[in-house]
């Protein structure tokens, strides 16, 4: 076996170990290094531009429509599930994307939440690409928006701990302008899963490449 093949085999084994241990590391980090909470949910999500019942016909010569409101409304729920820990949120950065392109952003100012509490934040943003999305729902399709959240959470208990939070969720919207999923949508750490996916892709490339 050539030196190149030995080197490649070493890296393949290393990556297999890393991928196998990564979920265990995340569990260990959650249990021993930082508290598990809080949880974040999208409670309401409404795009008036996609609410077909709110459109009014205008300008019969070119068959255009007038959108009554080009904004996007959403409610976030911050749920502190911990029994005896107060949570301090740094500025909460919200990014809304459509078609892999960021279309709007918003910052929820820092705030403090008591244990076993639920905080709601209703926000309004502009910048929705309604021309293309309105056409999609008019044809009976749905439109998917991506909501990403980033903040730093500080837990106040006997030992003050900080935790970087980077989570997100996809929100599917239909011709009512409302999210298709009626129950609350939980934001999760999809970025971590993408990281594992990159490792797996790299592993597959190493395995399939022939030795010289």
Residue 108's pLDDT band (cuts 50, 70, 90): very high
Interstrand relation of 161-173 and 176-178 (parallel, antiparallel or unpaired): unpaired
Please report the pLDDT score of residue 190 as a whole number.
Answer: 57
How high is the mean pLDDT of the chain? 77
More confident residue, 133 or 195: 133
Helix (H, G, I), strand (E, B) or coil at 160: coil
Q: Specify whether 105 is located in the same domain as 22.
A: no
Q: What pLDDT is stored for residue 128 in this prediction?
A: 72
The answer to whether residue 107 sits within a structural domain is: yes
Q: How many structural domains is the chain composed of?
A: 2
Which of 103-112, 120-129, 186-195 has the weakest average pLDDT? 186-195
Distance CA 158, CA 144 (A): 42
| H/E stretch holding 204 | helix 190-208
Q: Are residues 17 and 97 in the same domain?
A: no
The answer to whether residues 56 and 139 belong to one domain is yes
Pair 101, 25 in one domain: no
Query: pLDDT band at 198, cuts 50/70/90?
Result: very low
Total count of residues recorded for the chain = 212
Assigned domain for 172 exists: yes
How far from chain centre, in Å, is Cα 155?
22
pLDDT per residue over 44-80, tens digit each?
A: 999 988 888 877 654 445 555 565 677 899 999 999 9
Q: How far apart are CA 177 and CA 46, in angstroms?
A: 5
């Amino acid at each position: 076996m050539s030196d190149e093949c030995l080197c490649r085999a070493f890296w393949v084994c290393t990556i297999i170990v890393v991928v196998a241990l990564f979920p265990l590391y995340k569990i260990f980090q959650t249990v021993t290094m930082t508290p598990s909470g809080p949880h974040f949910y999208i409670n309401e999500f409404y795009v008036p531009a996609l609410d077909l019942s709110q459109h009014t016909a205008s300008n019969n010569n070119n068959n255009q429509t007038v959108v009554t409101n080009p904004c996007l409304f959403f409610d976030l729920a911050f749920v502190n599930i911990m029994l005896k820990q107060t949570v301090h949120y740094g500025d909460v950065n919200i990014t809304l994307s459509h078609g892999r392109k960021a279309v709007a952003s918003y910052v929820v100012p820092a705030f403090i939440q008591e244990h076993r509490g639920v905080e709601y934040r209703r926000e309004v943003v502009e910048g929705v690409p309604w021309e293309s999305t309105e056409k999609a729902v008019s044809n009976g399709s749905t439109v998917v928006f991506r909501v990403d959240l980033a903040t730093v959470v500080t837990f106040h208990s006997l030992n003050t701990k900080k935790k970087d939070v980077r989570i997100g969720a996809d929100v599917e919207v239909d011709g009512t302008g409302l999210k298709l999923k009626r129950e609350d949508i939980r934001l999760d750490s999809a970025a971590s899963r993408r990281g594992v996916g990159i490792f797996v892709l790299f592993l597959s490339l190493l395995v399939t490449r022939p030795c010289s």
